[in-house]
A and B are shown apart, each in its own frame.
Chain A
């Protein structure tokens, strides 16, 4: 009788440890999967497109500013030039 109880307790113990191990392994697999997914998306696309300057958001457009400067020199055909430039960007 005592032996039967001891055996049942041993089975219970083994089952507990087995489940615990399974949980640890599953968690590790999830972590490894998440780490590889995050590693695959390390894409640096663009630096800041605007900066906060005196509570004002200033848009940064390095090449676009060249057009603005050129209009300071000669602003003839401004609408046409802007339309031509935007045609590519849209």
Chain B
């Protein structure tokens, strides 16, 4: 092969290599940024914080929940307004709710029988909470926390559970 032909061959080779490298870079960038951030664990915690904030203000039980010596049944109906929450998940999930919140109030003297129980959102998501295996990334994420609230002389123990699904937006 003469010198001219050799040069031509070499520049074709370099073009091929440059194209290969560029294609690989584009693939890497697209692949990296196409994976969503999985923020569901954080979201469950934020949801629990919001509900806890709504129930306990400075350690005192909200009067919307408990007043005049009894639990206010209306709180269950007004939960979203009182706690400034919105469980609308949008058309992506065919309006299927992607959140769940459960509250249990116990008396200090009896921690086995709930005095007041509140369940809001999609109850089907709770089954995911039983499975602890990290491999099941597509299941809903759960967060459970216990805390104590006072209301005058009365003492209440609260168990709060929050669940977030939203798998399609958080896991690929």
For this complex, into which size category does the number of interface residues on chain B fall? Answer: 35 or more
**Dominant SS among interface residues on chain A:** helix
Q: A24 CA to B27 CA in the complex, in Å? A: 16
What are 7 residue pairs bridging A and B, where the CB atoms are less than 8 Å apart in the complex?
A28-B20, A31-B24, A44-B41, A45-B41, A46-B42, A70-B59, A89-B146
Given contacts A39-B31, A42-B35, A63-B48, contact A17 B13 (CB under 8 A): yes
B residues in contact with A36, CB < 8 Å: 28, 31-32
Q: Are B149 and A84 in contact (CB under 8 A)?
A: no
Segment 139-169 of B: residues with Cβ below 8 Å from A? 144-150, 153, 155, 157, 159-160
Interface size on A, residues (CB 8 A): 39
B residues in contact with A66, CB < 8 Å: 52, 56, 59, 147-149
**Dominant SS among interface residues on chain B:** mixed
Q: Which of B52, B59, B108, B159 has the most CB of A within 10 A?
A: B59
Q: Mark A69-85, 1 if CB is under 8 A from B, else 0.
A: 11111101100110011
Q: Are B37 and A28 in contact (CB under 8 A)?
A: no
Q: CB < 8 Å: which of A24, A44, A64, A71 contacts B21?
A: A24
A residues in contact with B58, CB < 8 Å: 69
Asked whether any CB of chain A lies closer than 8 Å to the CB of B115, the reply is: no
Asked whether any CB of chain A lies closer than 8 Å to the CB of B111, the reply is: yes
Given contacts A25-B20, A77-B155, A84-B111, contact A71 B148 (CB under 8 A): yes
Q: CB < 8 Å: which of B28, B39, B53 contacts A35?
A: B28
Q: Are B108 and A85 in contact (CB under 8 A)?
A: no
Complex: chain B residue closest to A35, CB-CB = B28
Q: A63 CA to B145 CA in the complex, in Å? A: 8
Q: A21 CA to B21 CA in the complex, in Å? A: 11
Q: Are B160 and A63 in contact (CB under 8 A)?
A: yes
Complex: chain A residue closest to B160, CB-CB = A63
Asked whether any CB of chain B lies closer than 8 Å to the CB of A51, the reply is: no
Complex: chain B residue closest to A46, CB-CB = B42
Complex: chain B residue closest to A75, CB-CB = B150
**Distance between B56 CB and nearest chain A CB, rounded to angstroms:** 4
